[in-house]
Amino acid sequence: MLEKLYEKLWRRIGGRPWTEIIREDARREPLLYLLIFLLGGVFLTIKAKQNWWQILIGFIAGVIVGHLWW
């Protein structure tokens, strides 16, 4: 059911799966995506008042999960 909903959304917005669109953009501009993720981690660190190493672990886990997803 969720797969059909996701397909309806991406067919209307972008015309193909968003993971493919993001993957192509990330390959063209990898530094931009790395900076976005790092700035997001810094923001979460400040907002959640966590230690820097907790965000680093979260960032590494996110990279691993992102690679498994794609």
Summarize pLDDT for 44-62 with one digit per residue, the tens. 777 767 777 777 777 777 7
* Domain of residue 49, residue span: 2-69
pLDDT at 20: 84
Query: What is residue 50's three-state secondary structure?
Result: coil
pLDDT of residue 66: 67
The residue type of 58 is G
- Count of domains in the chain? 1
How confident is the model over 6-36, as pLDDT tens digits? 888 888 887 888 888 888 888 898 888 888 8
Q: Read off the pTM.
A: 0.49
